[in-house]
Amino acid sequence: MALINEFMKIKNNTVVGLTYELKVSKLEDEIESAPFSVEIRDTEDPFYFLFGQSGLPEKFENLLAGQAEGEDFSFTLAVEEAYGEADEELLVNLPKSQFSSQQGFNEDMLAEGNFLPLMDEDGIPMQAKIIKDLGEEIMLDFNHPLVGFDLHFDGKIIEVREATEEELAHGHVHGEHGAHD
């Protein structure tokens, strides 16, 4: 099996393991900010995903396609290739009463700048950032946390393998670096 992995290239229905540093930058008043680090995934905490079913920006997957285990990568996704610009319609005011202790929330969680762990009507986990405390209501931002940023990735491909039937059926990685269902 190790010999197969040595030559396996990233393609649809492969499980890919990466280590990387993600830096972001933003264009404001026609001036690009210096990239600053927002996430590091090292060998202690690598990032695994099912190629072609990851939900990651399409350009991210396109730039990794065809690479093999052991290869380094370095690329930048412009805002429009990543998560786009913020959508004002995803800013929502909700009553604080919806975030009671009966629903598993406490007052400390409702501070401006915090991310609230939520679920949509289908039970899918999501998060929203608290933008402003409006007294009886809070303003939540449901935009992806990386909207409006250019994403700069520097990393290494640490594993490429065929996805199992179960992983393909469930649409995500199982085992040590994924879900356990």
pLDDT in tens, 22-46: 999 988 777 878 899 999 999 999 9
Asked if residue 44 belongs to a domain, the reply is yes
- Residues 71 and 105 placed together within one structural domain of the fold: no
**Whole-number pLDDT of residue 5:** 46
Residues 9 and 63 in one domain: yes
Of the listed ranges 58-62, 103-107, 165-169, 173-177, the one predicted with least confidence: 173-177
Place of tokens 């649809």: 12
The closest of 20, 9, 8 to 152, measured between CA atoms, is 20
Note whether 25 and 56 are same-domain residues: yes
Task: Judge whether 181 lies within some domain.
Answer: no
**Residue type present at position 169:** A
The CB-side HSE value for 53 (13 A sphere, CA atoms) comes to 13
The answer to whether position 180 is within a domain reads: no
CATH number at residue 10: 3.10.50.40
Residue 176 falls inside a structural domain: no
Asked, for residue 37, whether it belongs to a domain, the answer is yes
* Within a domain: 134: yes
Domain count, the chain: 2
What is the extent of the structural domain holding 116? 88-141
Q: What is the pLDDT of residues 42-85, one digit of tens each?
A: 999 999 999 998 889 999 999 999 999 999 999 999 999 999 99
| Sign of the C-alpha dihedral computed for residues 83, 59, 158 and 4 taken in this order | positive
Distance linking the first and last C-alpha atoms of the chain: 24
Q: 73: closest CA among 160, 154, 159?
A: 154
- Give the pLDDT confidence of 144-172 residue by residue, as tens digits: 999 999 999 999 999 999 999 999 888 88
Question: One-letter amino acid identity for 67?
Answer: Q
- Is the domain of 9 the same as that of 36? yes
CATH of the domain at 93: 2.40.10.330
Residues 155 and 70 in one domain: yes
Q: Does the predicted model carry a pTM greater than 0.85?
A: no
